[in-house]
Chains A and B, each alone.
Chain A
Amino acid sequence: MTDIDIERSILLAAPRTIDWRPYLVGVGIGVLCWLVFAIVAAPIGITTALSQAAGGVTSLVAGDDTVAQNAYWKANPFRLDYGMLFLAGTFLGALASAMLSDRFRVETVPPMWRERFGPSVPRRMAVAFAGGVLVMYGARMAGGCTSGNGISQGLQLAVVGWTFLAVMFPVGILTAGALFGPPHSR
């Protein structure tokens, strides 16, 4: 049993105990949004910078000309800017948190996946790769991801953010139902 399993079983045994952690983390992200809006005027977002990085990768493989001629990368060129360094920070912050709380774990097949689809590593990796492709393609078409669109646009009451949330969550629930069976089963 991991620490999380033990904590979960304690929670199940005592249903009146409230786990405040998600709320505290939500407050933390909300306050972080105040800081970035006021100090750097750059809302939190991930996929714009990831797209720029993809432009950098493409430059290496297909040459600079291919990227220079692309309308999307012309508007979002590869350079070491605020968004790119924010990504580096996100990686380092999560790494530090995992190390300091002794929860760094090499994971190839997560328990919930294994329970439903078995221990095959290639199967999990193939689906994770396909999911990554869709997540990124969808985020760029929608105008941002869960962070950049859902939270950063949502908190400004932007129509784009709330439309994203109102479509993404129901589609995700239907997809999870198709993969894992209806909610509350198993």
Chain B
Amino acid sequence: MLPVTGGLALGLAVAFGALFGWLLHQGRLTDYGTIVGQFRLRDFTVAKVMLTAIVVGGIGIYALVQLGLAKYHIRDANMLGTIVGAAIFGVGMVLYGYCPGTGLAAIATGSVHALVGGLGMIAGAIAYAFSFDWVRDNILSVGKLGKITLSDASGLPAIAILFILTVGALVAFYRLETSAAR
């Protein structure tokens, strides 16, 4: 029965997307100041939302996989591509003031500069597609580790890593909330 495919899945795509966009706006992640404020270490909303989502999502999906109700969808770790790409992304995210998801949501809330940056994202995608052959042969091919997890890399069971992550998040949140920066 699950996973759902076909027309019903397409309908659910809109519903799940709408819930995501609604959450991004409710979390003020559609504000330039929230995103850039995080990188200026003045506003920790982005870190709080992401870490909470990773811990809650991670524990729940671990349980679903154990129960046979979901599968993992792990992507290849092409280390050079991930490191160089993430660095380019980090510079771009501060200049744009958004990441792709929050940028798209911000366009819907009236941000004209998010729309202009969205056109930039289309241009970036076109540039990537036209340089893909070179990137694949010279960058994505370096440091290919395959679909590995932190569990594979460390030898620790996934549940132990999730536990460490949860405790780490709770300590970080406690310290954030009891210090001046928020």
Q: Which of B77-134 contact A (CB under 8 A)?
A: 77-79, 81-114, 116-130, 132-133
- Nearest A residue (CB) for B169: A26
User: In the bound complex, do residue B84 and residue A141 qualify as a contact, i.e. CB atoms below 8 Å apart?
Assistant: yes
Distance between B163 CB and nearest chain A CB, rounded to angstroms: 12
Q: Which of A10-55 contact B (CB under 8 A)?
A: 11, 15, 18-19, 21-23, 25-44, 46-47, 50-51, 53-55
User: In the bound complex, do residue B17 and residue A167 qualify as a contact, i.e. CB atoms below 8 Å apart?
Assistant: no
List, in ascending order, chain B residues with CB within 8 A of A82's CB: 9-10, 13
The DSSP consensus for interface residues of chain A is helix
Give the contacting residue for B92; candidates A29, A86, A133, A176; CB below 8 A.
A133
User: In the bound complex, do residue A129 and residue B116 qualify as a contact, i.e. CB atoms below 8 Å apart?
Assistant: yes
**Cα(A15)–Cα(B67), bound, Å:** 43
Q: Which of B120-158 contact A (CB under 8 A)?
A: 120-130, 132-133, 135-136, 139-140, 145, 147-153, 158
- B residues lining the A interface (CB < 8 Å): 2-5, 9-10, 12-33, 36-42, 44-45, 48-58, 60-61, 64, 69-79, 81-114, 116-130, 132-133, 135-136, 139-140, 145, 147-153, 158, 161-162, 173, 177, 180-182
User: In the bound complex, do residue A179 and residue B89 qualify as a contact, i.e. CB atoms below 8 Å apart?
Assistant: no
List, in ascending order, chain B residues with CB within 8 A of A21's CB: 26-28
User: In the bound complex, do residue B77 and residue A57 qualify as a contact, i.e. CB atoms below 8 Å apart?
Assistant: no
Tell whether A110 pairs with B97 under 8 Å between CB atoms, given A25-B27, A39-B2, A89-B16: yes
- Nearest A residue (CB) for B17: A89
User: In the bound complex, do residue A175 and residue B94 qualify as a contact, i.e. CB atoms below 8 Å apart?
Assistant: yes
List, in ascending order, chain B residues with CB within 8 A of A23's CB: 48-49, 52, 173
| A-B pair number, CB within 8 angstroms | 514
Give the contacting residue for A97; candidates B25, B102, B112; CB below 8 A.
B25
User: In the bound complex, do residue B64 and residue A47 qualify as a contact, i.e. CB atoms below 8 Å apart?
Assistant: no
User: In the bound complex, do residue A139 and residue B87 qualify as a contact, i.e. CB atoms below 8 Å apart?
Assistant: no
- A residues lining the B interface (CB < 8 Å): 4, 11, 15, 18-19, 21-23, 25-44, 46-47, 50-51, 53-55, 57-58, 70-73, 80-98, 101, 103-113, 124-125, 127-147, 149-160, 162-177, 179-180, 183-184
Tell whether A135 pairs with B13 under 8 Å between CB atoms, given A91-B21, A112-B37, A146-B50: no
Distance between A165 CB and nearest chain B CB, rounded to angstroms: 8
User: In the bound complex, do residue B48 and residue A107 qualify as a contact, i.e. CB atoms below 8 Å apart?
Assistant: no
Tell whether A172 pairs with B17 under 8 Å between CB atoms, given A91-B105, A98-B108: no
Distance between B172 CB and nearest chain A CB, rounded to angstroms: 12
List, in ascending order, chain B residues with CB within 8 A of A141's CB: 81-82, 84-85, 88, 128, 135, 139-140
